């Protein structure tokens, strides 16, 4: 699993005013919580946090959070940002406990070169970039690898086709498509051009009605 380290500092003051003052001082307010601990307010250096978020995948990187001389393995659960600027306003961490499963999104990595691409000049299109899984933190993978070597033009890989590592359970719909090998665009355009135009709808037959005679058109005279 991917890991990173971040230093944090306990904070006693909470609320909007305290949070604004903390940001002006170059720190970001946050909280760490978990199954066996009370939520604890903390502060993180803004530059260190920005640097970290630029380098990791926040959803699936285990953060070794160093707080008050104690290190805790955590996951970032929420990053609140300013609606118009990139500025982080608040961050939440969840402490990980061995044996207690968590839900995370893990990136999908395609491995190999499909036959349909190498031999027939096809195009490999990845439509699903990550997989939602449930896993014990001890068994959390860095990514899920999908072998696409055998893909031919017109074939695809679905979530149900992926062999997951031991202890990993997928929560994504098994019928979801991960990738598909398509024909080259030039071939598709040629097939469309060669297709016969839709037949013109048949003209409705002309209905010939006998003209009414004068007698037929009027009622009986009295």
- Give the separation between CA 15 and CA 17, rounded to whole angstroms: 6
Q: Are residues 186 and 115 in the same domain?
A: yes
Q: Are residues 68 and 20 in the same domain?
A: yes
Section 165-171 average pLDDT: 94
Residue 157: which CATH number?
2.170.120.20
pLDDT band per the 50, 70, 90 thresholds, residue 138: confident
- Tell me whether residue 199 is in a domain: no
Residues 2-27 have pLDDT tens digits of 889 999 999 988 888 989 999 999 99
- Tell me whether residue 186 is in a domain: yes
Mean pLDDT over each residue of the chain, to the nearest integer: 85
Q: Are residues 35 and 113 in the same domain?
A: no
- Give the separation between CA 9 and CA 129, rounded to whole angstroms: 35
Section 202-207 average pLDDT: 53
Residue 35 has pLDDT above 80, yes or no: no
Q: Are residues 182 and 118 in the same domain?
A: yes
Q: Are residues 129 and 163 in the same domain?
A: yes
Q: Are residues 89 and 149 in the same domain?
A: no
- Tell me whether residue 222 is in a domain: no
pLDDT band per the 50, 70, 90 thresholds, residue 44: very high
Section 111-133 average pLDDT: 94
- Tell me whether residue 7 is in a domain: yes
- Give the separation between CA 59 and CA 77, rounded to whole angstroms: 7
Distances (CA, A) of 18 to 23, 41, 80, 83: 9, 12, 16, 20
pLDDT band per the 50, 70, 90 thresholds, residue 202: low
Q: Are residues 152 and 182 in the same domain?
A: yes
Q: Are residues 107 and 170 in the same domain?
A: yes
- Of 95, 122, 138, the last residue of a domain is 95
Structural contact between residues 78 and 92, judged by C-beta atoms closer than 8 angstroms = yes
Domain boundaries, position 141: 102-194
- Tell me whether residue 200 is in a domain: no
Q: Are residues 36 and 108 in the same domain?
A: no
- Tell me whether residue 215 is in a domain: no
Q: Are residues 77 and 152 in the same domain?
A: no
- Of 95, 122, 144, the last residue of a domain is 95
Q: Are residues 33 and 59 in the same domain?
A: yes
Q: Are residues 88 and 107 in the same domain?
A: no
pLDDT for position 14: 82
Structural contact between residues 141 and 177, judged by C-beta atoms closer than 8 angstroms = no
Structural contact between residues 50 and 20, judged by C-beta atoms closer than 8 angstroms = no
Number of domains in the chain: 2
Residues 141-161 have pLDDT tens digits of 889 999 999 999 999 999 999
Sheet holding 156-158, edge to edge: 123-126, 177-182, 156-158
With b for 16 or more beta-carbon neighbours within 10 A and e for fewer, the 156-185 pattern comes to: ebbbeebeeeeebebebeeeeebbbbbbee
Residue 105 has pLDDT above 90, yes or no: yes
- Tell me whether residue 212 is in a domain: no
Residues 47-56 have pLDDT tens digits of 999 999 999 8
Q: Which residue has the higher pLDDT, 86 or 177?
A: 177
- Tell me whether residue 207 is in a domain: no
Residue 23: which CATH number?
2.40.240.10
- Give the separation between CA 64 and CA 78, rounded to whole angstroms: 16
Q: Both tokens of residue 191?
A: 């097939």
123-126/70-81 β-pairing = unpaired
């Amino acid at each position: 699993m991917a890991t990173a380290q971040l230093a944090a500092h306990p904070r006693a003051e909470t609320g909007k005013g305290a949070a604004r003052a903390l940001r002006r001082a170059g720190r970001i307010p946050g909280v760490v919580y978990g199954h066996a601990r009370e939520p604890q307010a903390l502060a993180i250096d803004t530059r260190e946090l920005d640097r970290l978020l630029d380098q990791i995948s926040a959803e699936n990187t285990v953060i070794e959070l160093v707080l008050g001389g104690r290190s805790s393995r955590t996951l970032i659960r929420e990053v609140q940002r300013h609606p118009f600027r990139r500025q982080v306003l608040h961050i939440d961490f969840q402490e990980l406990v061995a044996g207690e499963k968590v839900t995370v999104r893990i990136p999908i990595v395609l491995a190999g070169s499909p036959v349909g691409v190498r031999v027939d000049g096809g195009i490999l299109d990845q439509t699903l970039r990550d997989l939602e899984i449930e896993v014990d933190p001890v068994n959390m993978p860095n990514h899920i690898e999908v072998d696409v070597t055998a893909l031919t033009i017109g074939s695809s890989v679905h979530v149900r086709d992926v062999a997951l590592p031991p202890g990993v359970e997928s929560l994504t719909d098994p019928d979801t498509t991960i990738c598909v090998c398509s024909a080259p665009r030039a071939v598709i355009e040629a097939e469309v051009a060669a297709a016969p135009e839709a037949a013109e709808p048949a003209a409705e037959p002309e209905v010939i009605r006998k003209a009414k005679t004068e007698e037929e058109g009027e009622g009986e005279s009295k």
